[in-house]
Amino acid sequence: MKLQKKTSLLAIFLSGSLAVLIIAVSLLSFRQFSLSTAQEHVRSVAEVVRVSLTEAMINGVIDKRESFLKRLAEVEGLQVARVMRSPEVIRQFGQGLAGEQDVDSIEKRVMETGKPFFGIVTREFNPIFRGTIPFIATQTGEPNCLQCHNTPNGAVLGAITINISMQHLQEKALLTIGIMTCIIILFAALLTIFFRRQMTPVMITAIEVQKVAAQAKDGNFDGRIQYTGDDEMGDISRDLNQLMDHLHMNLGAITQNISQLLRYDASGNSNLITTTTEMVESLLEINQFKQAVEEDRTKSEVYFRIGHILHEQFGIQFGTIYEVSAPGMNHMKPMVVDGELDNICKWCNPEILFQANSCRANRTGHVIDSVEDPLICSQFKHLHENAKYAHICMPVFHSGTVGNVVQIVMDRAHGRLYQRLLPFMRAYLRESAPTIEAKRLLDTLRESALRDALTGLHNRRFLEEYVGTLEATAKRKKHQLSVLLMDIDHFKEVNDVFGHDVGDTVLRVVAKALAGQVRTSDMVIRHGGEEFLVILQEGEEPSGERMAEKLRMAVAALKIPITNGILRKTISIGVANFPGDGEDIWEVIKCADIALYEAKHSGRNRVVRYTPQLSKG
């Protein structure tokens, strides 16, 4: 129910209740007044009758009392005036007149108790007030009752019944009450009008407050209250208008600032509260995400976390996170595909892996959106206008260049939704970019620290870090490892005769030859100086000696160009096996070193397999 209707009903109820209360009180008061007046009237008439009867008795004209009572009954308002004798008077003076002998129950009770009776005896159209009053014998006054009556003092001599019509009083009461009712109704109407006039500002303000609050609930703070009175409602209106101005200005500014942080266009959203709340919640989640990726140990963990966020936060099931190689290398590597690490390239042509510039997002540095243009990227595998899937590729910049390309793939029907979510996804990617760049840099530094700068091979430090993993993997898979330790024969003479530049050339050429002969799963390490170490990951049958011979022949076949001609070199190789020749890799390397010493001692340019007898010699 509206406030205006409630106010009107309240005014009507209060006025009506007041009118009913006044009329009820008036009726009750008028009735009591009428009864009191009639009672006093009856007492006065009864006293007149008593005095008249006493005078008539003294004057000897008591037998004329009937005519007196008849004339008395003719008085306006009096209907009955009847006197009855008590038993004491009847014994003394006889029955009396005929009308005095018909005693009813009320008169009998009054004469027995000596207590008068007053009351309404009929409630028809003409109400009658009856009074029956006893005559009590008393010896006071002159003359007194005991001068004529032979009764004791205080005895009841008789009773008089007087009936008075209440009709004229009733008519006067109705007229008075009617006038009072009209006055009360007029007063109630005036009171209602006055009350409503006084409540009008409250109602107007309440209605406008409701409208302004409803608009504010929907994020619209443009509503204002027009009431400008000087009362409390005016104060409320001004305060609320100032509050709306404050919210509109400050919340709008907050929304705009957060929109700039997220690079999100919030101008189309009318609900500032909902929009700002969602953006603040997104910033909080993005900050938590940033803290999480900063604590991740490897970049693979960061990539996996990004894929998890895209799936859990935005409902993305398909897509790829690419890592773009350093400028000049022109490679891309899929780090996460459909939420899985190190998966194969699925949604784009494999060409982009080796020709990174063929990726439009990487080449242009712009977001590539096939929702708007299905044919925008020629490398997307679902390239036709009616394709079920659409894709959006987002470049992620590392120090001014594209370091990652994040591709999301969705049903084309849901493309508009993901376009709206794009600023929030890009905010996550921007926050993760510094961490990925830092971890990539650390990986590069670590890789450079684990590689020999001259030959590009892994160095001894790499072996020290990797040896534990190598042993554990071999034991778990129950595989063997062949360790080949080799040394370039007479390498010191190269440096002494041709100089260190030629020596460096020899090392590079030999290193390249060794790396070209082994599998990608095997390791070629520059162990120090002119010494190289090859570790072969074998199966059940070791092939170390065969591979060592192959390597020896490959090096012997090299023709190393130098300033004055061609230089040829040979190598000596010692071979040992893990776990057959030692309990750990370092022990096996020592065994291979013993075999290498034997190869050199026995003439160089040969392969020697380690046996326990070599340690004894």
Confidence at 222, pLDDT banded by 50, 70, 90: confident
SS3 34: helix
Confidence at 539, pLDDT banded by 50, 70, 90: low
Q: Cβ distance 614 to 592 under 8 Å?
A: no
Average pLDDT over residues 432-457: 84
pLDDT recorded at residue 100: 65
Higher pLDDT pick, 429 / 123: 429
Q: Cβ distance 303 to 396 under 8 Å?
A: no
Lowest mean pLDDT among 305-319, 434-448, 594-608: 434-448
Tokens of 50: 């008593």
Ranked by mean pLDDT, the top range of 247-261, 439-453, 474-488 is 474-488
Residue identified by tokens 């935005």 is 314
pLDDT recorded at residue 326: 79
Higher pLDDT pick, 229 / 372: 372
Confidence at 409, pLDDT banded by 50, 70, 90: very high
Residue identified by tokens 């003294």 is 58
Average pLDDT over residues 335-364: 90
pLDDT recorded at residue 574: 95
For the chain, the structural domain boundaries read 3-171, 218-295, 297-443, 458-616
Would you say residue 607 has pLDDT above 90? yes
What is the overall mean pLDDT for the chain? 83
pLDDT recorded at residue 125: 65
The structure's pTM equals 0.52
pLDDT recorded at residue 605: 94
Question: Can you tell me the distance from the alpha carbon of 316 to that of 1, in angstroms, rounded to the nearest whole number?
Answer: 49
pLDDT recorded at residue 337: 93
Q: Does domain 297-443 have CATH number 2.40.170.20?
A: no
Ranked by mean pLDDT, the top range of 4-8, 166-170, 593-597 is 593-597
Q: Cβ distance 613 to 604 under 8 Å?
A: no
pLDDT recorded at residue 254: 67
pLDDT recorded at residue 261: 62
Would you say residue 533 has pLDDT above 90? yes
pLDDT recorded at residue 104: 83
Higher pLDDT pick, 458 / 242: 458
Confidence at 479, pLDDT banded by 50, 70, 90: confident
Would you say residue 274 has pLDDT above 90? no
Alpha helices in 344-459 (DSSP H): 351-354, 360-364, 415-449
pLDDT recorded at residue 477: 81
Average pLDDT over residues 284-295: 87
pLDDT recorded at residue 347: 92
Residue range 483-519, pLDDT digits in tens: 999 999 999 999 988 899 999 999 999 999 999 999 8
Taking Cα atoms as reference points, which of 576, 584, 578 lies closest to residue 608? 576
Taking Cα atoms as reference points, which of 113, 537, 90, 244 lies closest to residue 236? 244
Higher pLDDT pick, 96 / 320: 320
Residue range 136-169, pLDDT digits in tens: 888 776 667 776 777 788 888 888 888 887 777 7
Domain 458-616 sits in which CATH superfamily? Reverse transcriptase/Diguanylate cyclase domain (3.30.70.270)
Confidence at 259, pLDDT banded by 50, 70, 90: low
Q: Which residues of 503-515 are buried (b: 16+ CB within 10 A; e: fewer)?
A: bebbbbbbbebbb
Do 3-171 and 458-616 show the same overall fold? no
Angle at 94 between CA 93 and CA 99, to 5 degrees: 115
Angle at 357 between CA 351 and CA 359, to 5 degrees: 65
pLDDT recorded at residue 448: 75
Would you say residue 231 has pLDDT above 80? no
Taking Cα atoms as reference points, which of 551, 547, 552, 555 lies closest to residue 506? 555
pLDDT recorded at residue 407: 95
Would you say residue 1 has pLDDT above 60? no
Q: Cβ distance 368 to 376 under 8 Å?
A: yes
Q: Does domain 3-171 have CATH number 3.30.450?
A: yes
Confidence at 269, pLDDT banded by 50, 70, 90: low
pLDDT recorded at residue 471: 87
**Contacts by 406-409, CB closer than 8 A, 24 or more apart:** 406/306, 406/310, 406/319, 406/320, 406/321, 406/322, 407/319, 407/320, 407/321, 407/322, 407/347, 407/348, 407/361, 408/310, 408/314, 408/316, 408/318, 408/319, 409/316, 409/318, 409/319, 409/347
Higher pLDDT pick, 445 / 584: 584
Would you say residue 35 has pLDDT above 90? no
pLDDT recorded at residue 507: 93
pLDDT recorded at residue 249: 75
Question: Can you tell me the distance from the alpha carbon of 319 to that of 422, in angstroms, rounded to the nearest whole number?
Answer: 14
